[in-house]
Amino acid sequence: MRLLGRRLSVRTRLTLWYGGVLLTIVLVISAFSYFMLRRTLISGADVELLMVGQVVRDAGIGEARRSEAEVREILGPRFHDVFYRVTGPDGRAEAESGALHGRRLPLSAEARERGLNGDPTFETVALTRGQRARLLTIPLAPARFIQVGATFADIDRALAGYMETLAVMVPLGLGLAAVGGAWLARSALRPVETISRTARRISAEDLTRRLPLRGTADELDHLAETLNAMFARLEEAFTHVRRFAVDAAHEIRTPLTVLKGGIEVALRADRTPPEYRGVLRSSLEEVEQLIALAENLLLLSRLRMGGSLSRQAIELETLLMEVVDTGVRLADGRGVIVRLGAVEPLIVHGDQSTLRRALVNLVENAIKYTMAGGKVELSLERDGGHAVVAVCDTGVGMDPADVDRIFTPFVRLDAARAGDAGGAGLGLSIVHSIVAAHDGRLSVQTAPGVGSTFAIRLPLG
């Protein structure tokens, strides 16, 4: 059954579900209406029996005050099929209607008991020949009863006619409903087919297409808007990947070209051992640069792919002291002062090696863009439930409009190129990814000629 459901189209399944639900509703309503009609017919018969019983009682049947013919004349032809009987204290009939045709009316114990209290009793009883009748028993003092009955023939005929009507109307209504349901399903799913056709035409080579909106602001329009937003993100991601691949190829090509050129020059003629050693040293520098670039690319890819990091308690004060020591060595000979400012003993949970890498990158970046006589200062403070690590320099600074660009891989501002700061432009991208992997936030405050302050905000452990 499940496999069959998988083979059916959504339109067919919607039509079947619609037909099934409608069939259930129609059957429930039909059954309810049938029983309500039966109850109404029986209630009407009870009213007529009560009226006949009152006429029979008032006419004094069994006391020879009026004959059956006179009672029939009072009742009229409408009550021709109603029969009655008057029983005495001994339970035998004192008088009975000719319409009984010898049929015996039972006197139940319930009717006797209620009659002693002066209450009438309505019952459905079985007569001879398999017939059913509605029977009213009215008490007469002393210990006498009037029984008035009518067969279920009229009620059964009315109910049978109603069932015949239902037998015709229900299938006809379901057939029309199935046709209408199929048409409604096709109309409702036509926009989905349009969305599917348009989505199939969208590929990695052309992500500029978008799904059309009908302007109805319904669920299908919301679906199209969601898919359009997804396509926009895919387009941005593909553009980023292509640009990343081109920039990575460009950065790798430069050291490879230098390496190839040095080797070709060395092979053009015989060289002395010191010259060969010079070529090898130069080639080794380019190889180390390629290795560093590859490691940075791998780290950046791992971080952006959501690679898991080991988590442990990290004392930030100790970590900053280590980073300051490293910064002092990096600034040696450049005339830049690297020092540790105000710190608080705070602990966060994360990967110590990658956090250290992020801080070293920030310090190294600050040293590169700080002129001789300037300073780079690290500080640590608590801000609510977060630890804020700040790296402040007195370097060249940058235009605040360029802040969003500096975290993009391979982006180096004009000031960096003019200062010949070197590097592939991956340092800040790696810092940003490391901070994001630790559920933190990286912010920058900067101004040209004033310097920059990079702040890492991390949740406390």
Q: 350-373: per-residue pLDDT in tens?
A: 888 888 888 988 998 899 889 988
Whether the pLDDT of residue 4 is over 70: the answer is no
Report the pLDDT value the prediction gives residue 420, as an integer from 0 to 100: 45
Query: Do 255 and 319 reside in the same domain of the chain?
Result: no
Tokens of 310: 């080991």
Domain region containing 340: 312-459
User: Do 46 and 104 share a domain, yes or no?
Assistant: yes
For residues 227 and 219, the answer to whether their CB atoms sit within 8 Å is no
What average pLDDT does the segment 254-265 reach?
78
Dihedrals phi, psi of 314, to nearest 5 degrees: -125, 125
Report residue 1's pLDDT band, with 50, 70 and 90 as the boundaries.
Answer: very low
Separation CA 299–CA 291 (nearest Å): 12
- Using one digit for the tens of pLDDT, what is the confidence trace for 417-434? 344 445 556 778 878 888
Tell me the pLDDT tens digit for each residue of 133-192.
Answer: 888 888 887 678 888 888 888 888 899 999 999 889 888 888 888 888 788 777 777 777
Residue 6 pLDDT > 60: no
- Whether 176 is in a domain gets the answer no
CA pair distance 454, 445, nearest whole angstrom: 7
Q: What span, in angstroms and rounded, lies between the C-alpha atoms of 59 and 55?
A: 6
Q: What is the mean pLDDT of residues 19-45?
A: 89
Tell me what pLDDT residue 214 has: 73
Residue 189 lies in a domain: no
Residue 22 has pLDDT above 90, yes or no: no
Q: What is the CATH number of the domain that holds 229?
A: 1.10.287.130
What are the angstrom distances between the C-alpha of 397 and each of 154, 415, 426?
103, 9, 18
Residues forming a β-bridge with 377: 339, 392
**Of the residues 107, 125, 157, the one at which a domain ends:** 157
Confidence band, pLDDT 50/70/90 cuts, at residue 3: very low
289/416 same-domain check: no
Q: Six-digit token pair at 432?
A: 């940003």
Query: Would residue 165 count as lying in a domain?
Result: no
CA distance linking residue 362 with residue 391, whole number of Å:
7
What are the tokens at 3?
Answer: 């496999």
| pLDDT at 261 (0 to 100) | 81
Q: What is the mean pLDDT of residues 258-279?
A: 80
The CATH number covering residue 439 comes to 3.30.565.10
List beta partners, residue 378. 340, 391
> Among all chains, which residue has been given the structure tokens 């002395």?
272
pLDDT digits (tens, 9 = 90+) for 287-297: 877 777 777 67
Is residue 16 domain-shared with residue 102, that is, in the same domain?
yes
* Same domain for 289 and 338: no
d(CA 85, CA 106): 11
Do 51 and 123 reside in the same domain of the chain? yes
Residues 382-405 have pLDDT tens digits of 988 899 999 999 988 888 777 777
Task: Report the chain's mean pLDDT, rounded to a whole number.
Answer: 79
Hey, what are 158's tokens?
A: 């009315």
* pTM, 2 dp: 0.50
Q: How many CB atoms lie within 10 A of CB 86?
A: 22
Answer whether residue 111 is part of any domain.
Answer: yes
In this structure, the answer to whether residues 296 and 443 fall within a common structural domain is no
